[in-house]
Amino acid sequence: MQHTTEHEIFVLSHEGEPLTPTTRAKARKLLSGGVAHRAWSKFGTFGIQLLVPTRKAIPVGTLGGDCGTKYEGYSVVIGHENVLNVKLDLPDKKPIVKKKAEQKRLRRARRYRNCRRRPQRFQNRKRNNFIAPSQLVIVGSRLKVLNELCRIYPITYAGWENVQFNHAKHRWGANFSTVEIGKRRIRQFFADRNIYVQEFAGYQTKALREKFGYPKSSDKAADIFSAHCSDSLTLALAVHYNQPIPRGPMVIVDDTYRPVRRKLHDTQFNKHGKREGYSRGTVFGLRKGLLIGTKRGRGRLCGKDRNSFLYRDENGKRQAARRLLWVSSQFITRPETACQRTRTNSAVA
């Protein structure tokens, strides 16, 4: 039996807890009746939050996650419907590695100067649950998406692909390390929310995907369902439902941007030995990286120039604006083409 995603509007209780998603028609009635108000997720999807108490009969909600080195996929299944698929573009760790190497070089050079400084202290470094900064930024990006999905949907089960690699036997598994590191924090995230997690190996995910009939693309960077979300939907169904269903809506989250602070006063002194202050992480009280809107369009807030805001537009070009029309903390998202959804649903049916 073929199902369609009718209950695509997420619902929050008056206390902010996720409830069963509803239909567009029911959401319009609740809004016009004055018992709910509008709400949006960080993915840009629309939902409602109730203003009055209601019953909390919640169906089984499952989450599927397909991890990767640069791109990942997440799928949420509520009842017998796939309510949302997310393709995540992970941040690039190469600039962070370069930044930490430059920081190390400057720190060593500063220790040789004839200036007042504190002594070297190596006993205050704690290695318990240590994650390198280049890997921590990727783990943090995963947790941000997972936290938002658990905030708007009632998730009780999760299917996760457990990547394992023998680094002692093989030396060519640098990409596997990016996927393996931080798995303890992911498991702890689900444990704190009482979510039962079932882990699958890579060959098991492939067998289940072929059993359900979902397509798989070899282009991992493509903004299509078959790049990563076909695996994540397979894992979400394998935990509880164990039957193929048509795929639901999909959004592409671009989390690659990271603000960069200027350090010219460390590498090159000004005249008379005067040092300028560090570039801050805020611009006129606003955090860098926020999504902003101007008369020319929208972009990421990245700095300031005298009395103007500096931002990077959708093409990555830096622009200036004196006035902002709106400010949002949502993710940068891109939609998927409609032809790809039609082709995938017809293949499953």
Structure tokens at 325: 């029309």
Residue 120 lies in a domain: no
Q: Are residues 321 and 250 in the same domain?
A: no
Q: Which residue has the higher pLDDT, 224 or 106?
A: 224
85-105 tens-digit pLDDT: 999 999 988 888 888 888 788
Predicted pLDDT at 139: 92
pLDDT at 11 over 90: yes
324 and 287 assigned to the same domain: yes
The pLDDT tens digits for 171-193 are 777 777 777 888 888 999 999 99
Residue 342 main-chain phi, psi, to 5 deg: -65, -40
- Is the separation of the CB atoms in 164 and 180 below 8 Å? yes
Please tell me the predicted confidence (pLDDT) of residue 199: 93
Residue 5 domain flag: no
Do 314 and 226 lie in one domain? The reply is: no
At 82 the pLDDT is 94
Q: What is the mean pLDDT of residues 265-284?
A: 66
Alpha-carbon distance values, 163 to 67, 176, 181 (Å): 8, 7, 10
For residue 199, tell me if it sits in a domain: yes
- Rounded mean pLDDT of the chain? 85
Does 237 lie in the same domain as 297? no
Q: Is residue 267 part of a domain?
A: no
Query: Are residues 286 and 212 part of one domain?
Result: no
CA distance 339 to 349: 16
Kindly state whether residue 166 falls inside one of the protein's structural domains: yes
114 belongs to a structural domain: no
Residue 72: the pLDDT is: 93
Task: Indicate whether 341 pLDDT > 60.
Answer: no
Give me the pLDDT at residue 172, please: 76
Clarify whether residues 175 and 309 are in a common domain.
Answer: no
What pLDDT, in 10s, does the model give residues 17-60? 999 999 999 999 999 999 999 999 999 999 999 999 988 777 88
Cα separation of 201 and 144, whole Å?
24
Pair 139, 234 in one domain: yes
Question: Which of 10, 8, 28 has its CA nearest to residue 18?
Answer: 10
Angstrom distance (rounded) from CA 250 to CA 345: 13
Q: Do 318 and 214 belong to one domain?
A: no
Q: Is the pLDDT of residue 2 over 70?
A: no
292 and 212 together in one domain: no
Residue 42 lies in a domain: no
Residue 272's pLDDT band (boundaries 50, 70, 90)? low
Whichever domain contains 304, its CATH number is: 2.30.30
192 contacts: CB under 8 Å, gap ≥ 6: none
**Could you tell me the CATH number of the domain that includes residue 179?**
3.30.420.10
Is the pLDDT score of 210 beyond 90?
yes
Domain membership of residue 144 (yes or no) is: yes
On whether both 142 and 235 belong to a single domain, the answer is yes
- Quick one: pLDDT at residue 339? 45
Q: How far apart are CA 58 and CA 56, in angstroms?
A: 6
Q: Mean pLDDT across the stretch 276-296? A: 82
Residue 147: domain span = 58-92+133-255+333-348
Report the predicted TM-score, pTM, of the whole model to 2 decimal places. Answer: 0.85
For the chain, percent of residues with pLDDT exceeding 70: 84
Q: Is 209 found in the same domain as 242?
A: yes
Q: Is the dihedral of CA 15, 21, 23, 26 positive or negative?
A: negative
304 and 176 belong to one structural domain: no
In the structure encoding, which two tokens stand for residue 239, read together?
Answer: 């935990």
115-142 pLDDT, tens per residue? 666 666 666 666 677 788 888 899 999 9
* Total structural domains within the chain: 2
